[in-house]
Every structure is written in C-alpha cells, then in structure tokens.
Amino acid sequence: MLFIPTCGLTDNFVSDNLYRFKLSVVDKQEQTSFLTVWDNVGKQQLIELISDHHLCDTSSEVTELSATWLTPAHGIQYAFEQAWGSKLHWTLQQNHEYALFEIECGISQSTVVALPMLGDMPVDEARTYVQEAIRNQASDKQYEFNGKFEAYIERVQFWRYPDYGSVWVFEYYGDSSITPELSGMIYLDTLNITVEIHDNLDMQYLYRQKCFENGFQPYKCWSLDEQAEFYRQLVALKEHQLMVYGFIPSFAETILSYEHVLPSDDMLSMTDAEKLAKEAVSYLIDDENATTSDFFIGASLIRTTEDKIAYCFYLELPDKAQEKIAVDAYSGKIIDLDLSLSRD
C-alpha cells in the first residue's frame, strides 16, 4: 500500500506537523515508555498523537491499519509516510532523518543508514554497475527480465557499515509488489556487487509478500478466505516450484498437507467452534488468572484425510509449547488430527 501525504495541506504545514509529532513522541516516551512496552494502550497513544498532529484524515482509519503494527516502528513509519509519501520514494536525506529518529525515540539502538560524502561513488555510477550486474545474472540464470528498469519503482539507499564500509543499495518494485522484485548492493571499499532477482512464481517470494500484507503474521493467523486463496495458489504453482527449484518449501508442505476450504452456512461458525475447542484444552492452562483466549494464535478450516471438514485451532502455551485442537465443522466433536505445528 502506497501512502501519500495528507491531502489539501501545504508542504510547510505537513513538515511543521511532523516536527511537532516527533517532539511529542519523544516527550511521551520519556514520560511513559509507551513505545518500549508495546501493547494496545501504546498503540492507542500513538494513534492519538498521529491524529492530534493532523498526519491522517481520520483516527478510525489509523485504528484499522494499526492492527498490522507489530512493533512501534511500524506505527512511526506510518506517520512519516503520511508526511512524505511512500518510503519507496523517500530521498536519502529522508531515509537518514527517519533512521535517526528511531534512535532518538528509543526504538532502535543504532543505524547503518547514512549519507554519502565527498569521495564516495556517485549514485549514477553505482546504479550503472548494479543494473549491469542484475542484467548479467538474469541472463546467466535465464530469468525472464527485459532489462527495462524504468518499468519499476526504484528505491535507493546509502548504508555505512562499521565492518564493510559504504554501500549503495538499489531495490526495484513492481506496481503492486510490496517487496522488491530486483535488488543489488555495491560495496564501495571492494566494488563487490550482490544481486537478488525474485521469481514472482516462487512460493517463498509469494509467502513473504503475503506475510508482509498481514503484518508479518504466518498463514495460520490469516483470515480463512486468505488461507483458502493462498492454498489454491500453492496447488497451481507446485509443478513450477519442483521444476525450477527441485523442492517444496517446508511452510508450503504444511499448507498443502490439507486442503483449505471456506465455511458454508450449514457448518458451525468459527466462534462456536472456538468455544468448544477452548473447553477441550482448558486443562492445559496452569495459570488460574489466564484464559485459553490468551494463547490461541490462529485457526484454519481444512478437509481431513478422512474427508471431514474441521476447524483446527492453534495455541502457544506459556512454556512456548504448541498445541492444536481440531473441531468437526458440522458435529462439533473434537477429532484427532495429525497436523504439523510448525511456526509457518
């Protein structure tokens, strides 16, 4: 999702609002440490600061988006994107300013994001080297790439590592991609170049994109609709994956081990099935002040090997052990199910 600056406001007004927002965040962090203990209360406080400083149109819009803010950095970045636009288009100065603010407000300890200095390779020269390396690798590995970088959104960054020195970083995004399809880094001390070309049909690439869309949550935490749709994608790509890569990734094997289906009107609702599952596993919870709701981490609706439809609920106990409980989607009976408990 590409963010644009708040409509109808002058650049100076937005810049002033962002400046005051930054002061308010640092002040509140010093008083309450709301970014250090990241919970729903902290999220709400950040939402109020974003709204109070007119960096969004409505607070309800931010509240809905905040479900994907797994860390305070996600919320802070959202605020900056409202002022500057998508981070894909940030200048080197903006990238640097944002990285320094993460340190200032206490959500990061250090950064490699820097600004080029006199004597560093110019960006245009670095781009020429990196793009040529990408073309060469695409040709060597017979990737489908037409060499037209102007068809992509280019994101440029400059990093300075303590050990590896200065690095130009170039990432190329498609119109709808949320992770780069092409990327290259040139290390200025050695002139070594590393390149990555992502196959849009690679299961790993698609899974990373989907996890990103869902706030970095694994598939078992997605909606049932999204799980079923992604399952169908994997089925369609299985032959391609084996032919090109020779193996199926472990997360895909887990998803493909059972057919993911959609609920129908004659099934139990997921809410009713979850109540039955919680009753069945309540004995696993040692803490008398806790409830099973505190430990449920996701659910899937699958067709079992016995051709039954079952809700499978996943939970993670305080000792980090994972458990599952399967509920027949029609009868409500608890059934045995040999389902991998991988964290994918």
Quick one: which of 251, 88, 240 has its CA closest to 177?
A: 88
Report the C-alpha dihedral over residues 179, 183, 186, 192, rounded to 10 degrees. 120
Residues 6+ apart with CB under 8 A from 175: 153
- Cα–Cα distance, 24 to 29 (Å, whole number): 8
Count Cβ atoms below 10 Å from residue 131 Cβ, excluding itself.
Answer: 18
| Rounded alpha-carbon distances, angstroms, from residue 200 to 203, 294, 340 | 8, 37, 27
Helices (H), 246-342: 250-256, 270-281
Quick one: which of 79, 195, 88 has its CA closest to 132?
A: 195
| pLDDT at position 4 | 38
| pLDDT at position 75 | 93
Q: What are the strands, taking DSSP E only, across the chain?
A: 153-161, 165-173, 182-187, 192-197, 259-260, 296-303, 309-316, 322-328, 334-335
* Chain centre distance of CA 107: 18
Distance linking the first and last C-alpha atoms of the chain: 24
Quick one: which of 214, 246, 247, 244 has its CA closest to 230?
A: 214
- Cα–Cα distance, 291 to 79 (Å, whole number): 35
- Cα–Cα distance, 122 to 192 (Å, whole number): 16
Instruction: Calculate Rg over the CA atoms of the chain.
Output: 24
- Cα–Cα distance, 293 to 72 (Å, whole number): 24
Quick one: which of 87, 80, 85, 88 has its CA closest to 53?
A: 80
| pLDDT at position 49 | 94
Are the C-beta atoms of residues 241 and 203 closer than 8 Å to each other?
Answer: yes
| pLDDT at position 56 | 81
Per run of 10 residues, the mean pLDDT along the chain (length 344 residues) is: 42 85 96 91 92 79 77 92 94 97 94 96 97 88 75 96 95 84 95 88 86 82 92 93 88 92 92 85 58 71 88 76 83 73 42
* Chain centre distance of CA 125: 32
| pLDDT at position 59 | 65
Quick one: which of 44, 53, 51, 71 has its CA closest to 17?
A: 53
Our CA angle for 59, 60, 65, nearest 5°, is 95
- For residue 28, which phi and psi values (nearest 5 degrees)? -70, -35
Secondary structure (3-state) at 305: coil
Q: Which residues of 288-297 are buried (b: 16+ CB within 10 A; e: fewer)?
A: eeeebeebbe
Secondary structure (3-state) at 166: strand
| pLDDT at position 58 | 65
| pLDDT at position 1 | 34
